A and B are shown apart, each in its own frame.
Chain A
Amino acid sequence: MTMLATRLKRKLKGAMLKWLPGMLTCVQFEDFLIEYMEGDLPQRQRTVFEFHIRICRECREYMAAYKRTIEVTGRAYGNGAAPVPDEVPEDLVQAILAARRG
């Protein structure tokens, strides 16, 4: 596709997303993304959001990479929350209590 055709296609897409009812622009999609991920979008907005995922290749792929980033972050230091030791080292307990006594 020539550069001109690509630009025209993006312009048409931008206009369609902006003006057709029940559509979101990519910028609006971005604004809603965290609420969607947190499960905080009301049902109607969720439907509109999910429709955008279906029709917009860029946002669909962006979101897949965004979700993968979250997965990778969560596992970057091992799985899940940090293992909690049964107790703190005794010398640390004593140091804290001694510091309090001043």
Chain B
Amino acid sequence: MAQTSRTDETELIAGLRRGETRAFEMVVRQYGPRLLASGRRILRDQSLAEDCVQETFIKAFERLDGFEGRAKFGTWLHSIMVNQALMKLRKLRPDKHETIDDLMPQFDADSCRIEAPWSHLATPHEMLEEEQTRRLVQSHIEQLPETYCIVLQLRDIQEFNTETVSEMLNISQGAVKVRLHRARSALKTLLEPLLRGETMS
């Protein structure tokens, strides 16, 4: 989050609540860059990310009374941005997987894992050096249902911790972990031909 002490943050929010134009401008300049970077990562498009950031600040300014100070102000702003971005993603990518149940690990009746032997496990370099395979990896990530894709984006790509992601998505830390695990498991299944080196030349 932006480098702001709690005291600075409190003063800034008090300024917003008093309707001071200067405070609004400071908030946009201070928190905007990080929101824009994160939005660009999620939406993969500069102009959509800018729209998203604009909507985020407008919503945040309208809902200032809803900020209770439990999370950091930057995290609260981020949670609004993530929700705005999710709405955009739903419109942009209607052809996502609807469910990931079929992509979960398999077990037999004796609770033993069913996993074909791995004779080769591709390195990240092998999987990402070619533009074509990199795009394929990205498209598999982006085709996951939004609730899973967003957790992967925030945890494994943007590297926020579980506590922050739970505040951003307004779900428990346990729910973040469950979604993260399911998302990773599903993605592992989708990437399996690449991971096994089967589709690379």
- Which A residues are within 8 Å of any B CB, using their own CB? 10-11, 13-15, 17-18, 25-30, 33-35, 38, 56-59, 61-62, 64-66, 68-77, 80-89, 92-93, 95-97, 99-100
Residues of A within 8 A of B25 (CB): 93, 97
Q: Are B32 and A88 in contact (CB under 8 A)?
A: yes
Residue from A64, A74, A77, A83 whose CB has the most chain B CB atoms within 10 Å: A77
Residues of B within 8 A of A74 (CB): 156-157, 159
5 residue pairs bridging A and B, Cβ less than 8 Å apart: A30-B107, A69-B187, A86-B33, A88-B29, A97-B28
Knowing A26-B111, A61-B118, A66-B185 are in contact, say whether A73-B156 is a contact too (CB < 8 A): yes
* Cβ-closest chain B residue relative to A102: B58
* Cβ-closest chain B residue relative to A28: B111
**Distance (Å) between the CB of B161 and the closest chain A CB?**
9
Q: Which candidate, B6-14, B37-45, B79-87, B89-97, is the interface stretch facing chain A?
A: B37-45
Residues of A within 8 A of B110 (CB): 10-11, 13-15, 18
9 new A-B contacts at CB < 8 Å, known A76-B134, A82-B37: A17-B112, A26-B111, A62-B105, A68-B122, A73-B152, A76-B141, A85-B33, A92-B53, A97-B24
User: Main SS of chain A's interface residues?
Assistant: helix
Q: Are A58 and B37 in contact (CB under 8 A)?
A: no
Q: Are B157 and A73 in contact (CB under 8 A)?
A: yes
Q: A26 to B195: give the CA distance in the assembly, Å.
A: 22
Residues of A within 8 A of B58 (CB): 96, 99-100
- Which B residues are within 8 Å of any A CB, using their own CB? 21, 24-25, 28-29, 32-34, 36-38, 40-41, 50, 53-54, 57-58, 61, 105, 107-108, 110-115, 117-118, 121-124, 127-128, 134, 137-138, 141, 152, 156-159, 162, 177-178, 180-181, 184-185, 187-188, 191-192, 195
**Distance (Å) between the CB of B93 and the closest chain A CB?**
16
Knowing A66-B184, A69-B195, A92-B50 are in contact, say whether A97-B156 is a contact too (CB < 8 A): no
Q: Are B112 and A13 in contact (CB under 8 A)?
A: yes
* Cβ-closest chain B residue relative to A37: B181
* Cβ-closest chain A residue relative to B44: A77
Knowing A10-B112, A87-B32, A97-B21 are in contact, say whether A77-B191 is a contact too (CB < 8 A): no
The one of A26, A71, A86 in contact with B113, judged by C-beta atoms closer than 8 angstroms, is A26
Q: A73 to B184: give the CA distance in the assembly, Å.
A: 9
Residues of B within 8 A of A75 (CB): 124, 128
